[in-house]
Structure 1
C-alpha cells in the first residue's frame, strides 16, 4: 500500500499550532506555558483544531509545512465536543470533510507530534465510542489504532482518499494502538451552527439516550430496530415540555434516519436554537414532535 501521494497532498493543508498561555504561580508571578498541536484548513483562512489545543491560549501562531508563519485568531470554540475554529491570513488548500466512516476502514493520522511532521496508518476500530473530554463532558468519538502522539491533537484523521473523517482529540497514554477522533459529522454541525448564529451556541433539549439494537427491539417488542431510546428526560427541559418521555424511541431527526446518538447530537447542534423535528415511537404509536432547544452557557 502506497499512500505517499495522499499524505503529500493532505500535508499541504495541515499546520502546526504553537500556543502561549500566561499563568500566575503561587506568588502571583506570571509565567508562560507553551503548547503544541495541529490543525487543518477548511478554506478561506479557516482552520479546524481541538479546543484543548487553543482554548486557553493567550496567543497562538500557526506554521505551515513550508515554514510560513501566521497569527491565529479564535473564531469560535466548542469545548463540549473539543472543537475550535481559528482564522489566519495564510492561504491553504482546504480539506474535504466526510461522514462516511466504517469499522475496518483504513485511515491516516496526520499532524505534528512532538513538533515533527508525522503520519501513521491504521484502521477504524469503532465509530461510536464515548470518552471523557478535558472539561469532563462526554465525547462521542471514532476509535482508531493509528498511532497518536502529543502534538497530533487537532490534526485530521483522513481516509485513503485524503478526506477528513475526524479531528484527532486524544490517546490513551498507558495503551498502544488506541487513539480517538471527533467525527467529521460533528465538525460539520459545529460549522453550520456558527454560520447560523455568527457564533457557537450550545443547544440543549434535555434527554439522555442510548443506541437501540436488534436485541433490545425484540425484547421490548418495538416496531423498529434502529434509533435511540430515551432513558431520561429533564422535567424542566424543552424536550419534556414538547412531550418526550422516558422509553420513547427516536427514529428520525429533521427528516433524517437516526442510527445512533451521533445523529441526534449532530442534528441538534447544526440547528443551533432553531426548531428540531423528531420522529418518535411510543410503543407502536408513531408520533411527530417539535422541540425548540434552549441555550446552555
Structure 2
C-alpha cells in the first residue's frame, strides 16, 4: 500500500527541534552539547514534543520542513509522561489527535531530523503497556514494531489517516527492535490541564495505586466486576483516603468517562488537574459515587 500522500501531508506539520545544553566534560569543565529531535503542531504556534528532547536545554530552535525557523519558548512540561509544549512563531497546520487505537492497526512513525523526512512503518503491538521511565515512575505507552531512532523522538506516531495516536519516545535504552509512544489520550489530557491552569501544567495527586481488571483476575478474587481498575493501595494522608476511597474498591468511571485501564484513570485525573473529580466505584455489592479533589504535586 502507498502511504506517500499521508506522509506528505503529515510532514507539513512535523518539525526539527535543535537544542543546546550546558554540560560538564570528563574534566568537569563546562561544554555545550547539541541535541536533535522532532515535534509536531497541535494548534497555531504550539508544538508538542518529548520532554527528554528539550530537557535542560538553554536554547531551542524549531525548524519547519520548508526551512523556516523560530526560537521556541517552553510553555509547559510533564516529565513523568515525557511530554512538553513549546510556543513557536511558525505557521504550521495542526495535526488531529486520535485517542482510539487498536492492536494490529497500521501506524507510521514520522520524524524530521534536519528537515529530512524520516518515516518507518509498523503496527500497534500493544495499547496497554506499562514500563518504568528513567525517573522511576510508571510510563503508559503504546508499543509498536515501527523502528524508532533518536531523531524521530518527539515526532508523531500516526495512523493511516494521518491522525496522531501517540508521541514517539526513544528514551528507553533497552528497547531494541521495539518502539514506544506516549498515547494521544495523555497528550490530550496534558493540553487540557494546561488550558485549565492558565498556561501551566499542574501534576495532580490522588494517592491510589490500581490494577487493571480482566475476567481471570475477577474470577480468581471473586470480584463483582471484570472491568474497571481495582484499588490495591491508598495512601492514608492522600485526598483519595480523605474522600473515602478504600483498598478493594473498583473504579469504573471518572467524570462520566469509562475507566478500563490505568491509562484511562491517569488521563482522567490529569485532565481535571486540581479540580474536583467524580469517581464511580463498586464496593462489594454496592455502587457509589465519591467526589475528591486532587492536590498539586511538586515536580
TM-score tier, shorter chain, comes to over 0.9
Residue 165 of structure 1: aligned partner: 165
CA contact (8 A) 1:106 1:123 kept: yes
Residue 212 of structure 2: aligned partner: 211
Question: How many residues matched?
Answer: 297
Residue 33 of structure 2: aligned partner: 33
1:97-126 deviation per Cα after TM superposition (whole angstroms, max 9, x unaligned): 010101000000000358742101100000
* Superposition pairs of residues 83-232 of structure 1, within 5 angstroms: 83-112=83-112, 116-170=116-170, 176-198=176-198, 199-232=200-233
SS in 2 for 1:266: helix
CA contact (8 A) 2:52 2:171 kept: no
1:219-252 deviation per Cα after TM superposition (whole angstroms, max 9, x unaligned): 2332321100011111110011111111111011
Residue 235 of structure 1: aligned partner: 236
Residue 248 of structure 2: aligned partner: 247
TM value normalised by structure 2: 0.95
Supply the distance in 2 between the matched residues of 1:263 and 1:86 (Cα, whole angstroms): 25
Q: In terms of mean alpha carbon deviation, does 219-228 or 204-213 score higher?
A: 219-228
Offset of residue 295 of structure 1: 0.7
Q: Given the alignment of the two structures, is residue 18 of structure 1 paired with residue 22 of structure 2, yes or no?
A: no
CA contact (8 A) 1:144 1:177 kept: no
Supply the distance in 2 between the matched residues of 1:277 and 1:131 (Cα, whole angstroms): 28
Supply the distance in 1 between the matched residues of 2:171 and 2:105 (Cα, whole angstroms): 19
CA contact (8 A) 1:113 1:149 kept: no
**CA gap 1:113/1:88 in 2 versus in 1, 3 angstroms:** closer
Supply the distance in 1 between the matched residues of 2:175 and 2:138 (Cα, whole angstroms): 20
TM value normalised by structure 1: 0.96
Offset of residue 26 of structure 1: 6.4
Offset of residue 65 of structure 1: 1.1
CA RMSD of aligned residues (A): 1.5
CA contact (8 A) 2:213 2:226 kept: yes
SS in 2 for 1:268: helix
1:105-160 deviation per Cα after TM superposition (whole angstroms, max 9, x unaligned): 00000003587421011000001111222322211000000010111110000000
Offset of residue 175 of structure 1: 5.5
SS in 2 for 1:264: helix
**CA gap 1:239/1:172 in 2 versus in 1, 3 angstroms:** closer
Q: Structure 2: give runs of 5+ residues left out of the alignment.
A: none
Q: Structure 1: give runs of 5+ residues left out of the alignment.
A: none
SS in 2 for 1:97: coil
* Superposition pairs of residues 246-265 of structure 1, within 5 angstroms: 246-265=247-266
Supply the distance in 1 between the matched residues of 2:134 and 2:80 (Cα, whole angstroms): 9
Supply the distance in 1 between the matched residues of 2:158 and 2:12 (Cα, whole angstroms): 14
Supply the distance in 1 between the matched residues of 2:268 and 2:92 (Cα, whole angstroms): 29
Supply the distance in 2 between the matched residues of 1:193 and 1:171 (Cα, whole angstroms): 24
Residue 55 of structure 2: aligned partner: 55
CA contact (8 A) 2:52 2:79 kept: yes
Offset of residue 75 of structure 1: 0.4
Supply the distance in 2 between the matched residues of 1:257 and 1:213 (Cα, whole angstroms): 15
CA contact (8 A) 1:115 1:151 kept: no
Supply the distance in 2 between the matched residues of 1:29 and 1:149 (Cα, whole angstroms): 30
